[in-house]
């Protein structure tokens, strides 16, 4: 009365003939539901037979593409039911949609600042990014690397925007203002990314 199914490293047994084997993705999902908190890539690797971070990353990519797992914090992952348990997701989606309907492409730092203030929260930017990624198709949001909008984005991400609209011959403060003419982004994020770009190019700040 015991039935066997599976192959190397994923063997399973059950009491019914047509039972569904527990694969590695199910192992990850079950652990997330059981622990009820976000897991790091290393936490997830420990759940696998191989204990491999590369394998964990591979399974996570598939689960996130399927929309059943989200990255709610930096390098932390869980299921949507846990990630968004204490917030009004519909209201957040509506407010994000309003922001993305403006004339400029939007950086997540701007979303975080505006909505944290509006909802009196302290969510990380990754929290809002996870929502934008999960509902982008349903809401017809356009994504170009780390930039978002309701319409076509003329830049291939923030780095490309900095390359195209900023100048090597002016101060960082002036470049920040030039960038903000095209992108909704916080002052701190703009400064950080412009300085990073200058360092890569070997330019003086």
What digits encode the pLDDT tens for the residues 173-191?
999 999 999 999 999 999 9
Give the pLDDT score at 166: 93
Check whether 7 has a pLDDT greater than 90: no
- Name which of 184, 73, 78 is nearest 122 in CA terms: 73
Give the pLDDT score at 150: 96
Give the pLDDT score at 126: 95
> Are 27 and 61 a contacting pair, CB within 8 Å?
no
Sheet harboring 142-144: ordered strands across? 142-144, 147-149, 105-106, 183-184
User: pLDDT class for 19, splitting at 50, 70, 90?
Assistant: very low
Sort 167 into a burial class: Cβ within 10 Å, 0-12 / 13-18 / 19+: exposed
Check whether 17 has a pLDDT greater than 60: no
Average pLDDT over residues 9-26: 58
pLDDT tens for each residue of 150-166: 999 999 999 999 999 99
HSE at residue 73, side-chain half, CA atoms within 13 A, is: 11
Give the pLDDT score at 156: 97
Give the pLDDT score at 204: 56
User: pLDDT class for 9, splitting at 50, 70, 90?
Assistant: very low
Give the pLDDT score at 47: 93
Give the pLDDT score at 179: 97
* pTM given for the model: 0.83
HSE at residue 46, side-chain half, CA atoms within 13 A, is: 7
User: pLDDT class for 57, splitting at 50, 70, 90?
Assistant: very high
pLDDT tens for each residue of 87-138: 999 999 999 999 999 999 999 999 999 999 999 999 999 999 999 999 999 9
Task: Convert the chain into a string of H (helix), E (strand) and C (coil).
Answer: CCEEECCCCCCEEECCCCCCCCCHHHHHHHHHHHHCCCEEHHHHHHHCCCCCHHHHHHHHHHHHHCCCCEEEECCEEECHHHHCCCCCHHHHHHHHHHHHCCCCEECHHHHHHHHHHHHCCCCCHHHHHHHHHHHHHHHCCEEECCEEECCCCCCCCHHHHHHHHCCCCCCHHHHHHHHHCCEECCHHHHHHHHHHHHHHHCCCC
- Name which of 173, 175, 190 is nearest 107 in CA terms: 190
Tracing tokens 């009365």 back to the chain, one arrives at 1
């Amino acid at each position: 009365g015991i039935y066997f199914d599976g192959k190397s490293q994923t063997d399973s047994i059950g009491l019914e003939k047509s039972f569904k084997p527990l694969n590695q993705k199910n192992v990850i999902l079950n652990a997330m539901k059981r622990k009820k908190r976000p897991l790091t890539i290393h936490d997830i690797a420990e759940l696998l037979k191989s204990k491999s971070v590369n394998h964990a990353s591979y399974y996570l990519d598939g689960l996130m593409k399927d929309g059943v797992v989200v990255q709610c914090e930096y390098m932390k992952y869980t299921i949507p039911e846990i990630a968004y348990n204490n917030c009004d997701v519909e209201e957040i989606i509506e407010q994000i949609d309003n922001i993305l309907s403006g004339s400029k492409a939007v950086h997540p730092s701007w979303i975080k600042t505006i909505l944290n203030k509006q909802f009196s929260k302290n969510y990380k930017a990754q929290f809002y990014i996870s929502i934008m990624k999960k509902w982008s198709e349903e809401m017809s949001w356009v994504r170009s690397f780390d930039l978002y909008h309701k319409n076509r984005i003329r830049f291939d991400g923030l780095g490309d925007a900095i390359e195209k609209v900023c100048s090597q011959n002016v101060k960082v403060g002036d470049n920040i203002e030039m960038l903000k003419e095209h992108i909704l982004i916080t002052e701190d994020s703009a400064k950080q990314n412009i300085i990073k770009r200058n360092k890569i190019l070997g330019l003086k700040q």
